[in-house]
Chain A
Amino acid sequence: MAIDLAAAGIDQILANQKGLIAIGAGLAVGLAGLGSGLAEKDIGSAAVGAFTEKEELFGKGLILTVIPETIVIFGFVIAIMMII
């Protein structure tokens, strides 16, 4: 579906661009979130395993589990910068 630029007028074009930016921002957070999730699922299960064997490892396990979370934060920062 092609947009007739001349007929659409400047407002319509801007609105379309805004929509694309929103999709891009959504992808940035969503895909980064998937990445974090994929990494965390393995670390998390291993950490729970270690934690059941040795309770003192809770702190260390938690840290290792949340390390990949920074990935989604990067996604978030990018998304914010795109929207604004």
Chain B
Amino acid sequence: MLKPKQMSKVLVIGHKGMIEPTIETLHELHVMHIEEYSGGDHFKIGKPLAGAEQDSKKLLKLRSIASFLGLAKSYPSGPVNAERLSSELEEKLEALDSDVSEKLERKLSIEADLKDVETKIHEIEPFLGIPINFDLCRGYDSLHVFSGTVKKGMDLESKLRDITSEYLLFTNSTGIIILFIPIAYRTEVSDLLTECEFSEVRAPDISGTPDALQIDLGARRDSLVRDIESLASEVDSIKSQYKEFILASEEFLTIETQKKEAPLVFATSDHAFMIEGWVPDDEFETVRSRVEEVTDGRVYVTKIDGAVGGGNVGDCDDSNVPIEFDNPGIVKPFEAVMNLYARPRYHEIDPTAFVFIAFPLFYGLILGDIGYALILLAISLYGRSKLHGEGWNSLFTVLIYCNISTLFFGILYAEFLGFPLAGLPGHPGLIHGWDTIPLFAGLGGEHITYPIHRTHIVMTLLVLTLIIGVIHINLGLIAGFCNVSKMHGIKAAILEKVSWMVLQLGAVIMLLGATDIVSGILPMGAGILVLAVIMMIAGEGAVAVIELPSILSNVLSYSRLLAVGLSSIGIASAVNLMAGMLKDSGGLLIVVAAVVFILGHGINTALSVIAPGLHALRLQYVEFFGKFYEGGGRIYNPFGYKRIYTEE
């Protein structure tokens, strides 16, 4: 806890003949983070093992099949034996491939046909109702055929008669005309048509009358659509038949290619290979004994000392060390919260444990409502059992922690969906007979009671939240002190971090003096304040003066613990008030009241995840981490694979 896993830089050197068992062992151990070899004078970058190319081809084929089938990753019913899979992989993959490519071809040809038919239907549409075969519109020597649209309301026929009586005109409701005239009148008729704003619509190059064609093509389209549907169900049956095989063999091939391509990051000479990487300290002995055992001691595994800086941490660049969290299981889900920000650096304090305490605490302090806590607990418990995967699991577990804390504060505040459970004089609570018990006096004439009515002791809670802020920020400063003293020595740590604490002390003394709570200490406070500023300038330079007001805004920022909570109560009681008023009106409005109640609290439940979550998170990220945390460590990504669908 508080520190990332301690790492050692490790060198694995051996004869090239031993490369395969070494890779096999390292892959199985899944603990070594391999550093990529980028080339040099004496060594070359290694070549992939035999069979790597075939495996990647198969993998590519498999992935394209999976994407054609639209296969989604799901939780396996039971892992497949890797050896059996490897023996039948080739044959099964061939069968699957031929099945799928036949389907794919059919799908493409049907889709092309369908597109063709749809285009034709679209072309015919304007001509519907004209009783001539399209064949008759083409191929004359002595006739000319116009087909197209003219402006509506033009008396075309009478004007035509002025030119000639030898014509044949067809028209329909969509405004299309087909006009046959002897070729001799072509120019005159063409001029007339221009007058009527003629625009040509070519008759489609099909034979048949429009109406008959429409029926034919419509039937053809329907049959093609049915074909596609039946094809889709065939694809579905392939999908369900091969699903487990595809998922398992994808995993199998991924592992195989990973192993076979591993030498690409190794350094090799003509006869030897060298792997450089990082192994957690407590795993080093296992790695060494296993590798030496498998290779009869012909591969040499050694630690490189001083890679992460032994005594003098400040001189060492720790940005290369891969970071693996080292937290107990209960804290683990909060590593996701850390990953959202940045992994710690190697020599830094890992604040996951602080976040584990402060985040749910702040969340509960803000929300503090039994009703919402129970709803969200139910949702997150259900979600955790239904949705698998590391991300979901962490998210829901964090939500569960947060809502246990919310439940605790809910009981302390005795709030249920915005209703006070306990009564105040003149205001009965939801539970009859539960009266608020006065305990002691708070600030500004307020009375602390059990249960706590947040809306009645705003001033006291405001001061309380600011005190929480001071404590949290000073925790951050202490962590910062540890970090700086480790990296740059105790003097720098005092000047950079302790100065802020001295500043706060000075401010408090001045405040006590100025308000005459303790008289005559105002000058002392001012002196301490000046001392703090001098320390800061000595530590961080004159720029530090610009940072001075930030301590005030940081502390004030914690008043959101109260503010966001009050706004949540505000929304909830507004919903309750509206629903109550509707209910009292009676009749059908009772149904409306129920809708308002459910909808309103539904929205407020969603807000209850977002608002307290984001604000509690912000207090960690901005106010707390700002005091000490740098982050930016590399993610520890050990060579190996977490099998889901296969087993050895």
Interface majority SS (helix, strand, loop, mixed), chain B: helix
Give the CA-CA distance A58 to B338 in the complex, in Å.
11
Question: Are A58's CB and B556's CB within 8 A?
Answer: no
Whole-angstrom distance from the CB of A67 to the nearest CB of chain B?
A: 7
Q: Which residues of B contact A60 (CB under 8 A)?
A: 341-342
Question: Are B556's CB and A80's CB within 8 A?
Answer: no
Whole-angstrom distance from the CB of B627 to the nearest CB of chain A?
A: 13
Question: Are A70's CB and B444's CB within 8 A?
Answer: no
Cβ-neighbour of B621 out of A62, A74, A77 (below 8 A): A62
Number of contact residues on A: which range applies?
10 to 19
Question: Are B340's CB and A58's CB within 8 A?
Answer: yes
Question: Are B458's CB and A80's CB within 8 A?
Answer: yes
Q: Which residue of A lies closest to B626 (CB)?
A: A63
Q: With A76-B563, A80-B459 in contact, is A69–B556 under 8 Å at CB?
A: no
Give the CA-CA distance A59 to B614 in the complex, in Å.
11
**Residue A38, interface by CB 8 Å:** no
- Interface 1/0 per residue, B321-348 and A, CB below 8 Å: 0000000000000000000111000000
Cβ-neighbour of B560 out of A67, A73, A83 (below 8 A): A73
Number of contact residues on B: which range applies?
10 to 19
**Residue A15, interface by CB 8 Å:** no
Give the CA-CA distance A73 to B469 in the complex, in Å.
14
Question: Are A56's CB and B621's CB within 8 A?
Answer: no
Question: Are B340's CB and A69's CB within 8 A?
Answer: no
**Residue B617, interface by CB 8 Å:** yes
**Residue B559, interface by CB 8 Å:** yes
How many residue pairs between the two chains, A and B, have CB atoms under 8 Å in the bound complex? Answer: 45
Question: Are A66's CB and B458's CB within 8 A?
Answer: no
Give the CA-CA distance A69 to B553 in the complex, in Å.
11
The residues in B between 451 and 508 inclusive whose CB is less than 8 angstroms from any CB of A are 458-459, 462
Give the CA-CA distance A63 to B621 in the complex, in Å.
7
Whole-angstrom distance from the CB of B473 to the nearest CB of chain A?
A: 14
Whole-angstrom distance from the CB of A52 to the nearest CB of chain B?
A: 15
Q: Which residues of B contact A77 (CB under 8 A)?
A: 462, 556, 559
Cβ-neighbour of A73 out of B458, B557, B614 (below 8 A): B557
**Residue B592, interface by CB 8 Å:** no
Give the CA-CA distance A62 to B618 in the complex, in Å.
8
23 A-B pairs with C-beta separation under 8 A = A56-B342, A59-B340, A62-B340, A62-B614, A62-B617, A62-B621, A63-B618, A63-B622, A66-B614, A66-B622, A69-B560, A69-B618, A70-B553, A70-B556, A73-B559, A73-B560, A74-B556, A76-B560, A76-B563, A77-B462, A77-B556, A80-B459, A84-B444
Q: State the A residues within 8 Å of B (CB).
A: 56, 58-60, 62-63, 66-67, 69-70, 73-74, 76-77, 80, 83-84
Question: Which 6 pairs from chain A and chain B are nearest by CB?
Answer: A59-B341, A66-B618, A76-B563, A59-B340, A63-B621, A84-B459
